[in-house]
A and B are shown apart, each in its own frame.
Chain A
Amino acid sequence: MAEIVLDEITKRFPDGTVAVDKFSLDVADHEFIILVGPSGCGKTTTLNMIAGLEDISDGELRIDGKRVNEVAPRDRDIAMVFQSYALYPHMTVRENIGFPLKLAKVDKAQANQQIEEAAAILDLTPYLDRKPGALSGGQRQRVAMGRAIVRSPKAFLMDEPLSNLDAKLRVQMRTSISRIQKRLGTTTVYVTHDQTEAMTLGDRIVIMRAGLIQQVGSPQELYEDPVNLFVAGFIGSPSMNFVPGTIADNAIDTVLGRIPLTDRIRTTLDAHEAPREVIVGIRPEAFEDAALVDGSRGAGVTFTAPVDILESMGSVKYAYFSLENAHVDSEHLAELERDSGTEEIGQAQIVTELDARSQVREGQNLEVWFDPDSIDVFEPSSGANLTAK
């Protein structure tokens, strides 16, 4: 068990590119921390620096208060699970899991007991004498986990350990990783590009972009109070909708209609000296079929548009709208689009989450309602959230 402190850690490659820039973070003992961001944001490089697989160009890495920049990986007492699992194909499952113990010269009986225990936790007991080639993807993933937990290291590092699994297995393994981490209480740093994994697993999440930390916080904080466009667009599924807006006369004019400023929003906008042209963000969850809204309806804003596509998820329905002049041009969002390979973010498409009771059909016009207090307002050039607490 250990506390890991990254103090202005920087990674500069020989060609001069800075992969990680002054990364500072305190990982508390027992904490499960997630590094998340689009590919190329420096999250894996950061993990490799903690592991010792990559040199630290600048800054200091401390484990349990001791500087370990120059310590070889094997002496850091940290275990790592790789995206590709990196199982030794010539060894059986038992030998794979037992390899760290063999290197540490743990005596045979003791080692065997530890291997059996790890295998029992991971339901691998029946497969101990097989070779990795004869295992399924999920089993291989568990062997990789076994190799990490068997020697009770100070910390686990996991580099997208679930990305090679199919969707169903991924959900299963996600819960079992969470369970194992809670049971063992081992400090864990987990890298992923999947925001759902990040939200469900982490005590705290670190969102990275282009080598810089964007925001650190609990899943709830990141969801409710994203500091900028990038975080807002990254966290949440489906992603937040963004439309351009113009502040005028105590309201914001958008393609979704004229959104009056609530007291809360007006105060924060004034405090940030907001410009006239802004970007408005609204989460899909903030919308509702106007037909199903009663009581508070008067306080809300509505717009009417034809439903492009309707997806019924059972518990909720997603309605997609294409709106003219709704496109937001922002480099902050462009990067997210590139990474996810989708074009929904920042595009002229609006996604709304409706109650399952909604009777709307594809192609029909629908009146959609939302609460003007649920919006976030962003500064277009810096991307900063002008409505953050």
Chain B
Amino acid sequence: MTDDGETRPPRDETRAGADVPAPADGTVAATGGAATATAPTGAHRVAVSEGKRSERRLGWLLCLPAAVIMVVVTIYPIVYALLLSFQRADLRFPNDNKWIGVTNYVTVLTNSFWWHAFVITMIVTVISVAVELVLGMALAMVMHRTLLGRGLVRTLALIPYGIVTVVAAFGWRYAWTPGYGYLANLLSDNSAPLTQQVPAVGIIILAEIWKTTPFMALLLMAGLAIVPDDLQRAASMDGATTWQRFTQVTLPLMKPAILVALLFRTLDAVRIYDNIYVLTNGAQGTSSLSILTYHNLIGGLNLGIGSTMSILMFITVAIIAFIFIKGFGTAAPGTDSTGRR
């Protein structure tokens, strides 16, 4: 089923694209900030006491392993993509590589395919994340509060997320394929929904929601677990209805958990790839940004354009993340709203 040509390791020819000038030092420093962050920040007005200093040392020490791994693994690929995005690097014309400034960016941003994929991605993201938040909250409530067979329910609820995306997508594809599938057979006119744009996008969203609602639910349930029961009881003594208790007590306390769940789900949704790859492979105008990038990067072998798309996607995602964190204000991890006294 799977077309090997599309998914097997990048071919050796791609190495041609790697023979780019060594990363300029300035660029490395910009992206490698996380590494230098662990160095002491120099002169401070007041001498720091033993306690503060050991606290700093411990802070750096504890962050060090995670920081080192993340930087070591990603620094080269990220810089590589960034540099390629400013070059003409088409594997079909390997001798034609050269620096072309922002031309790639202009090309991509004035291209209707890009904007079409952008719109599709946003539609899929907004609808699926919104539905997942509501469904996920309901699911989290059931998982958290159910009185019967809690362990079994929790396990069951997580199964969709546990199933490998590609495989689950195959399940959906067959279910909607006329002849093979039980769902397609339910449709009266024996039509093939995956071959029409709107139903296909609908199915992609459906598959996405089914698969990742449990992810949302699990993170939200973790948030529910830290809402003290006493507070719930106190609120009900104060005459709050179940709904008021939920909106006035539970939700505000869950804010950090909701932020994390929404943020990571959205970041994932914007990069949606596996589901679309299996269900339509971007046909009938259902291409997402990732699919488009993939087709350029590996299918089309146009590394320059593909890398530009990666960077643009990255910027899109970064803007979304920024909005989220600002919108949630002090509920974001790392802010010191709670203070320490």
Contact = CB atoms under 8 A, between A and B. Distances in A.
Classify chain A's interface size: under 10
A55 B52 contact: yes
Contacts of B51: 52, 55, 70, 72
The prevalent SS among residues of B at the interface is helix
A70 B54 contact: no
Interface string A55-66: 111000000000
A69 interface: yes
B49 interface: yes
Chain A interface SS verdict (over half): loop
A56 B46 CA distance: 12
Contacts of A56: 49
Contacts of B341: 44
Contacts of B52: 55
B49 A69 contact: yes
Contacts of A72: 50-51, 54
B120 to A, nearest CB: 49
A59 to B, nearest CB: 13
A5 B43 CA distance: 32
Contacts, number: 15
B24 to A, nearest CB: 38
Interface-central residue, A52, A55, A71, by most chain B CB under 10 Å: A55
A40 to B, nearest CB: 11
Contacts of A69: 49
Nearest to A53: B51
B49 A55 contact: yes
Nearest to A71: B50
Interface in A1-59: 44, 52, 55-57
Contacts of B46: 57
Contacts of B49: 55-56, 69-70
B41 to A, nearest CB: 14
B93 to A, nearest CB: 59
Interface string B42-66: 0000100111101000000000000
Nearest to A57: B46
A76 to B, nearest CB: 11
Nearest to B46: A57
A44 B49 CA distance: 20
Interface string A66-82: 00011110000000000
Interface of A: 44, 52, 55-57, 69-72
Interface of B: 46, 49-52, 54, 341
Given A70-B51, A72-B54, 12 more contacts: A44-B341, A52-B51, A55-B49, A55-B51, A55-B52, A56-B49, A57-B46, A69-B49, A70-B49, A70-B50, A71-B50, A72-B51
